[in-house]
Amino acid sequence: MKRAMYAVIVLWAVLTAVYMTNMGRARKVSISTAFTDSAGGEEWCELDTYIEGYGKFGVCYLTQEEKERLVENIASALGITSSYGLATVCEDEVNTTVLSKESVNGSVTIKAITQEQQRTDNTAVPAGTEPQVTGNTNGLAGTQPQAQYVYVNITVYNNIDCAVSYRELVEGMFDAMGIQGNVNMNLVGSLEGALNSTEKNELADGLLDRLGAKVVTENRDSDIFTIYAYSKGAGSYITIGGNKINMNIAIGYDEEQDRTKVYLASPINSLDY
C-alpha cells in the first residue's frame, strides 16, 4: 500500500502543476468554442461534457478500507468531499468499489476495480516459495497480489467550457498515480430535426477547419457518419496504423427526440451513438 499512499501525495503536486501549465496555453485550439460555433446559425438544444478515464493502477493487495480511501482521494482531487455514495459490487471474480455523486448539473462516478486472483486450497505452492503479499490481508491466508484498475466518469450538463480542464485534471491524476490507461473527452450537442447529407458535411467540415484538423480516415455514409482526424493544437493523441488521431467527429439521429446528435471526442469517442 506504500505505492498507493505515495501516489496520493504526489497527486496534489502534479495537479498544481497542471493548473499552472494551463495558464500558458493560449495558442492551443479552443475545442469548446470550435464545437459551439460549428452549428452556424442553428441553436444547440444541449451541450454536454463526458470525461471517461480507465487504466491499470497496478498489481497489489488492497483491503476494502484502502480501496474506499483510494476512490475518496480521487474524488477529493476533483473537489468532492461530502454528500457522495459508496458501494461495493461483486460479480464473478471482479470486486468493484464505487463512489458516486449526482446533482442537477451532472454526475461523477469513480471506481476501484479488483480482478480477483485468489489461490485455491488445491493450488500447490513450490517448495521454499513465500506468498507475495502486500498490504493488510486481514487474516486471509494465501491472498495474492491482485490486478487493480481505476475508472473515472465525469458528466457535466449544459456546459462544455469545462471539458478540457477536466480532461487534463484526470490525466494529471493518472500520471501522478502511475495509472496506465486512457482519458477520453466527449462533447455532445443536439440540434432540432434531422440534418441532411449536405448539412452534415458542412457542419463537419466547418468543425475540422476551426480545429485546424486534418482527416486521417472517415466514413460519411448516411447511417454511419464518423471522422477521425488530427490537430496539432488539440492535445494528447493515440496512434493507429502509424497515424496520429486526437479528434473524432460523429453525427447521428435520435428518432424519439427528433434531434440530430453531434459528437466531438478527443482522442476518440467512448460513447454509444
pLDDT of 200 strictly over 50: yes
Compute the average pLDDT of residues 152-174.
Answer: 96
> Which domains, from first to last, does the chain contain?
2-21+52-183 (3.30.2030)
The confidence band for 21, taking pLDDT boundaries of 50, 70 and 90, is: very low
Alpha carbon of 186 to those of 8, 81, 167, 237: distances in Å?
27, 25, 10, 14
Q: Round to whole Å and give the CA distance between 30 and 91.
A: 42
> Across all residues in the chain, what is the average pLDDT?
84
- Total residue count of the chain as it appears in this document: 273
In the structure grid, which three cell numbers stand for residue 112, read together? Answer: 476501484
pLDDT at residue number 118? 54
Across the range 173-198, mean pLDDT stands at 95
Task: Tell me the C-alpha to C-alpha distance, in Å, between residue 9 and each of 73, 144, 176, 209, 230.
Answer: 10, 26, 9, 42, 35
6 has pLDDT over 60: no
Nearest residue to 235 (alpha-carbon basis) of 253, 212, 201, 204? 212
Q: For residue 114, what are the contacts with CB-CB under 8 A and spacing of at least 6?
A: 62, 67, 94, 95, 96, 146, 147, 148, 149
Q: What is the pLDDT of residue 119?
A: 52
Would strands 225-231 and 180-192 be described as parallel, antiparallel, or unpaired? Answer: unpaired
Whether 77 shows a pLDDT value over 60: the answer reads yes
> CA separation (Å) from 155 to 114, 175, 215, 253?
24, 21, 28, 21
Which pLDDT belongs to residue 40? Answer: 87
Does residue 126 have a cis bond before it (omega within 30 degrees)? Answer: no
Per-residue pLDDT tens over the stretch 40-60: 889 999 999 999 999 999 999
Q: What is the mean pLDDT of residues 221-248?
A: 92
Cα dist. 164→51, 161, 223, 235 in Å?
9, 7, 29, 9
Cell 470486486 appears where?
95
Answer whether residue 123 shows pLDDT above 70: no
Work out whether the CA dihedral 137, 56, 271, 39 comes out positive or negative. positive
**What integer is the mean pLDDT of 182-193?**
97
Assess contact for 3 and 58: CB atoms under 8 A: yes
Confidence of residue 248 (pLDDT cuts 50, 70, 90): very high
Residue 130 has pLDDT above 60, yes or no: no
- Spell out where the chain has E strands: 46-60, 85-91, 94-103, 106-115, 146-156, 180-192, 213-220, 225-231, 238-240, 243-245, 247-254, 259-266
- Do residues 252 and 267 make contact, with C-beta atoms less than 8 angstroms apart? no
Work out the average pLDDT over 80-94.
Answer: 93
pLDDT of residue 117: 64
CA 186 – CA 120 distance, rounded (Å): 42
Quick one: pLDDT at residue 236?
85
Task: Give the residue-averaged pLDDT of 126-146.
Answer: 45
Residue with the larger pLDDT of the pair 18 and 168: 168
In eight-state DSSP terms, residue 271 is S
